[in-house]
Chain A
Amino acid sequence: MEETKTQTGLDIEEIRRRLRGERGQRYWRSLEEVAETPEFQQFLEDEFPNRSSLLDLDRRSFLKVMGASLALAGLSGCRFLPKEKIVPYVKAPEEVVPGKPTYYATAMPFAGSSIGLIAKAVMGRPIKLEGNESHPWSLGASDVFSQAAILALYDPDRGTTVKNRGFVATWEEFLAEARKVLPQAKGVRLVVGDVASPTLERQLAEFQAIYPNAKIVRHEPVSRANVREGAKIALGREALPVHDFSKARVVLAVDADFLASMPGSVRYAREFAGTRRVDEENQSLSRLYCVEPAPTPTGILADHRLPIAQADLEGFLQHVAYLAGAASQPGAANLAPESFWNGLAKDLRSAGAQAAVVVGDACTPAAHALAIAIQAKLGSVGSTVRYVAAPAVRSDQRLSALVTDLESGAADAVLFLQANPVYSSGLGERLGKAIGKAKLSACFDLYETETAAACSWYLPAPHFLEDWSDARALDGTVSIVQPLVEPLHDTLSVHSLLPALMNRPSEPLAEVRKTWAVDDKTWRTWLNEGVASVPKAAELPVPATVQAPVGRSRRVDGFEVAIRPDPTVWDGTFANNGWLQELPKPFTKLTWDNAVHLSFSAAESLKVSNGDVVRVTLGERSVEGPAWILPGLAKNTVLLHLGYGRRAGGRVAEGAGFDVYPLTSEDSPWGGVGARVEKTGKRAVLASAQMHFSMEGRDIVRMGTMEEYRRNPSLKPEHAHGEAPRDLTLYSDEEKRREQEGVQQWGMAIDLNLCMGCNACVTACQAENNIPVVGKDQVQRGREMHWIRIDHYYGPRAGDGSGDNPTHVVQPINCMQCENAPCEPVCPVAATVHSHEGLNQMVYNRCVGTRYCSNNCPYKVRRFNYLNYQFAQKNFDRKEDIPLLKLLNNPDVTVRGRGVMEKCTYCVQRINAARIEAKKKGRDIRDGEVVTACQQACPSQAIVFGDVSDPNSRVSQIKRNQRNYALLGELNTRPRTTYLARVTNPNPEIEA
């Protein structure tokens, strides 16, 4: 973006020249040098006029300042004003109004699919990503990955320059070499993941046209191959299911986390939530059956959850098919009690077209085929599910073939396009060696990955916010990916790289527009809406009866290993993202690590407790990692998460957790049976953000079944004390009432029926409110800084009572903004006081840091800056002050320094912005004009915020629901955030 240069007086070119080829220590020093140049100072000061100077007292000059603050006019509480510069534009860009954010529609490509986003930029700096309402797969919401993606843009560990065998080089040098080698290469290989960009697909085809001996190798660690395969078996053509849960009355999810981590989950969560809202009028809930080896957020919302080994899932589906009349012979009937089968079958048949069967990506092709057969039989195809043609993903060769070709020399030029198989495949080691044999090997990626280390060339890739591209979503919806900033580093778009290799240099924008030959007007509307008006993927006809292979259970002798992408760092792509590393994982609340998850009874039989390092052996490969007990796992299933144990790719990624890929292979990427688990006697320390998972019989999360709800709509337990009576005070409420009179009163309602604990709100809050990352050590000490957290409890145990299948409940907790806030009267300096709009104000610049407020907060939502956490990605105590990360900060939120208490403010910066605009128009804020970051991100719209003094506001209506209750109401804190009790809809015919 040209503005970056002019508006800030920062010469990006200049910086790039200085940074070119600087790495590690040297890189930092030179970055500091750059940071010292006046231009860079202005660049920062424009938005951060030494923002940190008061709160984040710079340590070096600390004593000086302290001296000053005491000496100079001690009593005024005021300091000599620092001299400060204002740097104006040379040429002011029209669209930028200083101090006002600008919004651009773009999209985030992810694992062969994409989600439409709106990027918020302030003075040319992208600082926040939100879902794009007009994008069908976002609907305005987002997930943890798209929320955290912005951090990667400013990640100081990103590749900054071309490298040749570790030495700084230039693009020119690489292209010269490539143009020399490619034409007479024996075999050229392009390794790519599941590409979401039609333009890239086109370019790959063109590339092969020019280099006939070039082959495309697909490598996506977490691929949907089984789904496509299954469709091929059943329908004779690769296809992807596109579900519509808004129409579903009965959902059977087979190892399918369709609410949180499956492609399309953001939309699915919204649709499903629509069928789970309960109030006086609407009392018909959909019913969700979950059958899964390992607990998932989807399983949390299940009405019936059955832990079943993944080896048994096929057999399970076979029996469902049999009961649904879609298959002639029964399956593994022994997996569930009689009543379960009957209940399920009855529900599915009666639901008919309104039944949905979702099968997870990890399930076998046969399982997917069976699912198609069942739905075809039930007639739900066309209503709750459509099958659309999968994008034609050309793969000429598998990874194993590539390795042999490289070893034999049949392939002597290989280019990895944002693929990292040396780390993310079972063949890593061999591949790493084989690459060495190639004449030309290059790795094009965001970070200097393991693969980059094995290749002779490393080519830095741009972040998607720096690059023009396009991206296909699940159902073929196309969005244009448009850049917000000029590349920060010496990167080259992949769309320019390939043409350059084909000797016809071209610009990414030109390339993308070439793919979509449309006039400027249409193009502009596409850019504005973030969705291109092009035909979606073709829908496949599905016959009434589909022949599916017979599903069989495999015998599990010993343990079974289930390998899944990590809920926060996925397949390792996000391993260098501090936000995601520190994001407590669902269920375990672990941060900065993966673990060997064992079921309750497995741990008992192995005499293993949390933190014991165990060795998991599958076939002849084995990995070692710390054990963690995860109630809800199938008895003999060991759950392992990918994405950890990175050996390269950034200081945050490296050294965290252990690598599970050695246990994967091309044919069984999802683990397998016959595994051994033994203790090693070693211990490891894991950092969990929550230590106690029992409610201790306290009235914390209210829940009940439909019948219980009908009997007692508040679902308040008999023993519970409930909210304290309003007149329980010596002072009349009159004063409080007068205070609030005529002023909008902010409040929030969270529907526990819709929250599955996907963490999107937590990351959104972190991005919006400049919340620092504190690192594993600090999390372990109980000092994580998240303003909103997802509490996780085990509900009443279901089934055998072995503790192997407890009901899970989650509860998002942010500052309750109590009307009688216990924190307020104890603050000695009035740093936390009540606003007339009912907010519990936390004034950072007044805070002295006695921490009394936190002691007196029954919800423990306050967070204290025990050390100087700002601007550090991982080891704040290394005192890394990273200028690049400063660019990420939201200028509307104070950056808190050490020694200051902080907490959720209901995104007061958004309230204020809305109020000022409203007042200028001479009116109050309208309902829905203020959306908090957590609310905006929430895929299931469980969080609703608004004016509780207005009876017609959405939040007021929801709070009128009888399920509405105040957490710890008996303390008479009168929280403004209230919860809606959770109602489950189990099938009465099934005895749990």
Chain B
Amino acid sequence: MARLFSPVANTIARASLVAAVAVPVGAIVMGSVVSRSPANTNVGVAFDQPVPFSHAHHSIELGIDCRYCHTSVTKSSSAGIPSTETCMSCHSQIWTDSPLLEPVRQSWAEGKPIRFASTGEVGWNRVAKVPEFVYFNHSIHIARGIQCNECHGNIQEQHMTAKGKPFFMKWCLDCHRKPEKALYVDEQQPDLTPQEKVFAFYRKIQEGAKLSARELALKKGREYQPTAAELEKGREMVQKMDIKVKTLADCYICHR
């Protein structure tokens, strides 16, 4: 009787045994990698916008306070997107004929929201976004002295705005479980309230003042591992501000 399998069959058989394990595992690992990569999170991916607005230019080079445009960041859950009126308050005087600003002028003239000159799509492409079932509140974070950079990365250095952090639940919890990591006092001006400190930091950057290691990391949007001493200080602040840490990770803090 003719031979049913050639000798290579043995190898194939063994190989397939290995594959049976390796392939699913590989797929799983692959998946996790992709989901954590900018392909999914959009971290550092600058979207195209109606007007190539540069945070670097406005906040650092011109030294405009965040709150000039993001008016409600200290008052409300939403930081607020500047109205055309806000843009025009300067750009009716300067760069009045810059072609880049045409959409702004057009919006102002028509009384219609800003739109892409090319496609006519209305509005800005949203960069930093949490899922709809997550209720993030800017004002309380600012009030506690959490720097914008903690979530928005090196925003002051960005010419095209991009998402600074992945906004994973894990990442939120990391801070909500150990708030001391993010709480600090500016040693050079220790008597500022946490909220004042937040905005003082950006003036420092703008004036090119000397920055502490942590502040430098913040400015660059890098991870910063606080020293034991800093953590201790952080814990004191938690005490002082009476932050009920155990409640910070309750579901209802962010989900309703």
Task: Give the complex CA separation of A42 and B114 in angstroms.
Answer: 12
Q: Could you say which interface size class chain B belongs to?
A: 35 or more
**Are A74 and B28 in touch, CB under 8 angstroms?**
yes
Q: Which of B32, B81, B241 contacts A922 (CB 8 A)?
A: B241
Q: Which of A38, A74, A100 contacts B121 (CB 8 A)?
A: A38
In whole angstroms, how far apart are the Cα atoms of A747 and B95 in the complex? 59
Shortest beta-carbon distance from A679 to chain B in Å:
51
Q: Take A85-B122, A916-B140 as given contacts and tell me if A837 and B250 are in contact as well, using a CB distance cutoff of 8 Å.
A: yes
Chain B CB within 8 A of A90 CB: yes
Q: With A88-B83, A919-B140 given, is the CB distance from A75 to B31 under 8 Å?
A: yes
User: In which size bucket is the chain A interface?
Assistant: 35 or more
| Complex interface: stretch among A17-25, A332-340, A717-725, A905-913 | A905-913
When distances are taken between beta carbons in the complex, the residues of chain A under 8 Å from B124 are 85-88
Residues of A within 8 A of B42 (CB): 81
Q: Mark A891-926, 1 if CB is under 8 A from B, else 0.
A: 011100000000001001101100010011010000
Query: Which of A86, A742, A912 is in CB contact (< 8 Å) with B126?
Result: A86
Say yes or no: B82 contacts A88, CB within 8 Å: yes
A84: which B residues are within 8 A, CB to CB? 125-126, 129
A893 to B252, CA, bound (A): 11
15 contacts between A and B (CB under 8 A): A9-B123, A11-B112, A49-B126, A55-B133, A72-B31, A72-B34, A72-B40, A87-B124, A91-B83, A97-B71, A836-B244, A836-B246, A836-B247, A837-B247, A911-B252
Cβ distance B140 to chain A, nearest Cβ, rounded Å? 5
B253 at the interface (CB under 8 A from A): yes
Residues of A within 8 A of B131 (CB): 54, 845
Q: How far is the CB of B38 from chain A (nearest CB, A)?
A: 11
B58 at the interface (CB under 8 A from A): no
Contacting pair A843 B255 (CB below 8 A): yes
Q: Is B84 located at the chain interface by the 8 A CB criterion? A: yes
Q: Does A92 contact B (CB under 8 A)?
A: yes
The 3 A-B residue pairs with the shortest CB-CB distance in the complex, in nearest-first order: A73-B35, A76-B35, A99-B78
Secondary structure class of chain A's binding surface, majority of residues? loop
* Residues in A whose Cβ lies below 8 Å from that of B72: 97-100
Q: Does A523 contact B (CB under 8 A)?
A: no
Chain B residues with CB under 8 Å of A905's CB are 252, 256
Q: Which residues of B lie under 8 Å from residue A52 when comparing CB positions?
A: 132
Decide yes or no whether B204 CB sits under 8 A from chain A: no
Whether A73 lies near B80 (C-beta < 8 A) is no
Produce 1/0 per residue, B115-135, CB < 8 A to A: 000000111111001011101
Interface presence of B242 (CB below 8 A): yes
Q: Check: A48 CB closer than 8 A to any chain B CB.
A: yes
B201 contacts the other chain (CB 8 A): no
Does A739 lie within 8 Å of B122, measured CB to CB? no
Contacting residues, chain B, for A277 (C-beta < 8 A): none
Contact A99 B250 (CB under 8 A): no
A6 proximity list for chain B (CB < 8 A): 111
Question: B252 and A841: CB pair below 8 A?
Answer: yes
Taking a contact as CB atoms under 8 Å apart, the answer to whether A89 and B113 are in contact is yes
Chain B positions 30-57 with a Cβ under 8 Å from a chain A Cβ? 31-36, 40-42, 47
* Residue in A87, A839, A912 whose CB lies within 8 Å of B135: A912
Cβ-closest chain B residue relative to A53: B132
Could you say which residues of chain A place their CB within 8 Å of the CB of B251? 833, 835, 841, 843, 846
Cα-based distance from A99 to B256 in the complex (angstroms): 16
Instruction: Assess A86 versus B40: contact at CB under 8 Å? Given A9-B113, A75-B28.
Output: no
A844 to B256, CA, bound (A): 8
Contact in complex: A42, B241 (CB < 8 Å): no
Interface status of B158 (Cβ within 8 A of chain A): no
Q: Judge whether A743 is part of the interface by a CB distance below 8 angstroms.
A: yes
Given contacts A88-B113, A91-B83, A742-B244, contact A73 B77 (CB under 8 A): no
Residue of A nearest to B140 (CB): A916
How far does the alpha carbon of A846 sit from the alpha carbon of B256 in the complex, in Å?
11
